[in-house]
Chains A and B, each alone.
Chain A
């Protein structure tokens, strides 16, 4: 029975679609906070002594007279990274779209554990509130970066402002987030394995369902490691333990009373989560983009199986390469050598995926709209961000490029912009299904051009700065050596502000279309998967109590002799020759 009260229907809802929208809403809030923080940082970088009106309202100590202090810059970069990685890149492509569409795509009425599902969203929300609270405590947000390297993060208030309660809040927030993600990924796995409708074999699942399924397997293992790591970190901070703190450390001329721990252990535990996290962000985007591209090209990808196989191998390899973040960390140099090879080998499945996308474009009937533009933009960004991985996978080159803007450019392009392009593509594609209204295409295309060109203008130059040796996490560039590059930094700041403005256009489009957009038909893009067989927006139990039956592979496009050029997955229509995969 569909709930009727406001609280049960919209707030503590058990409906996977409402929970998906809640995740999406939270990601939108987080991404706008994260984006504003990046604006503040960019402005501070190029005009370090200029006041930013109103900044003192955020932090009196961090911005006396509205001028940001260099310490507050470090706080902002920590909060920017944490918000973006956890609350945007994990939430939007995976939890938001996955929650909304995974059950519908496999013909289920809801998730396997609806109460778990509700709990995982509200736990994520609690984690978000705890993290945001760090802005409003007296000593401000932590300054240790989103990686929170020990011992800086573990020793407590001795390490500077924000490193007392701010860092503890960070640890608690991430621990809560891990619990939420574990609940969510268990739910995804159970739903995919258990609730598929009749005829929906594993190989008949759409690629995005596969991507969410693989991602939930990765997330289950990755967050299961980060959770105890965060608990141990918090214990070091508040309970006097020394998991990450070795003996004999001296702060302010005093030896601190910890001993016996290992600072490197934190890095291993963190990156054992941190590297798979990259794929938690990018794999759902790959799935969404594949789904949209197939629909736009009016043809299936060259091989469903190879795409799924590549995604599984990327997921597996993501577990054996965490050490490539630690080439210069002081671990055994032989380990660096060993970690370098699987990192380079990831290039193979990533290249296969790219070649499959490109090869499938050949000879297609590509329809251009906002969703397909963002999907094509994703491929371009994925390649641009991916090739710089060649450099960083080699320990010898990492000696020079580590901790420079080259790294910043690399991961922003590949896991930031590419994943966000997946989210934009998904939004333009599924908005009619989620709201029952069409989005404005003109605004969508303007948004695409601003974002596509803007993102290149911001993140490509980062690679050049890294090449000349401009290190990251410095809040100003006043040295003689970097002065010649200040104009490029200014250009990046202008590009960041402009690109951000285009995101406000997107937000306006989202709100405007939700209320004023033209009514959406059931299947506006002539797509074949199950979500396009239900009304827009879908009713409480998705299929009106009648479970669909699946007769075909998910992507029956370009069908000769059929009424249209496609056949729905749930249509019993006989197709003369089932497509033979090469």
Chain B
């Protein structure tokens, strides 16, 4: 039975590695300027984790194969070096490897979160609420009008609680249900939730950030490839969570200008 265990374990280990090695389950394509850092880090981690996974399973399988149900009641032998070697090996080898991963992995994180967006980044606000995303562009004046929670009226399409009668800056704000952006231009996305926790996740952009009620958060990114990509809410937000999606529409600058013109005329 021990030998069967060893054989099954080796088959499981190899079977688990094949889909990754053969790229049957690839990551979503990367359309951002920062995504390659994340992808590289993922590749390095996959290599390390894969080696650790296969090595441990194979050693387990080998020892079980070799030492289970021994017919000869041979003398019990101690692993060469004993526990001290194990501890030293784990501290030196595994410790230094995972710490190296951690340190190098910070490049991608720092690029996203410790570096502010450039001065010419385009500001867009997104508001998440049960169960839709809305996006607000500052319009010609480049300024977003004030929000008034008590003025939110979804029936009258005032999703952000704007007060154009008294607030000049809000009059030219453009509100959409789709996030349209120009390619190769940095976007500064201001994030705000009106009710519960939500999340903004675009796989292709390598961006995921929760909306936390009461906190104003920000992410910045540059998309490189025109196309239509799904925005998903990954934070369980209530009964309609399964349906809470929006689309990111990455366009060329000309297409974006035309799109924005059309959206402005619809307000």
Contacts and interface: CB of A to CB of B under 8 A. Distances in A.
Interface of A: 70-71, 73-74, 143-145, 149-152, 155, 159-161, 163, 245-251, 253, 255, 261-264, 297-299, 301-303, 306, 328-330, 333-334, 336-337, 340-341, 344-345, 347-349, 351-352, 354-356, 358-368, 373, 376, 379-380, 383-384, 387-388, 390-391, 393-397, 399-400, 402-404, 445, 449, 452-453, 456, 460, 464-465, 467-469, 471-476, 479, 481, 558, 581-582
Interface of B: 1-2, 5, 8-9, 12, 16, 19-20, 24-28, 37-38, 41-42, 45-46, 48-50, 52-53, 56-57, 59-60, 63-64, 67-70, 73-74, 76-79, 81-84, 86-87, 89-91, 94-95, 98-99, 101-102, 105-109, 112-114, 129-130, 149-150, 152-155, 161, 194-197, 199, 201, 203, 206-215, 217, 230, 232, 234-243
9 A-B pairs closest in CB distance: A246-B214, A363-B77, A582-B82, A303-B83, A396-B108, A333-B113, A403-B234, A469-B203, A464-B25
A193 to B, nearest CB: 26
Given A263-B197, A348-B95, A469-B203, A582 B78 contact: yes
Contact of A143 (B86, B215, B230, B239): B239
Contacts of B154: 253
A403 B232 CA distance: 11
Given A249-B195, A262-B214, A344-B102, A366 B27 contact: no
A387 B52 contact: yes
Given A366-B69, A396-B37, A328 B210 contact: yes
A468 B28 contact: yes
A366 to B, nearest CB: 4
Contacts of A581: 82-83
Nearest to A379: B60
B238 A364 contact: no
Contacts of B243: 70
A391 B41 CA distance: 9
A340 B130 CA distance: 32
Given A445-B1, A468-B28, A469-B27, A399 B208 contact: yes
Greatest chain B CB density within 10 A among A144, A163, A397 is at A397
A394 B102 contact: yes
A467 B22 CA distance: 13
A400 B48 contact: no
Nearest to A445: B1
A364 B78 CA distance: 8
A348 B83 CA distance: 14
B241 A397 contact: no
A347 B28 contact: no
B89 to A, nearest CB: 7
Given A341-B99, A391-B49, A144 B236 contact: yes
A367 B67 CA distance: 9
A152 B27 contact: no
Given A328-B199, A366-B67, A467-B26, A456 B78 contact: no
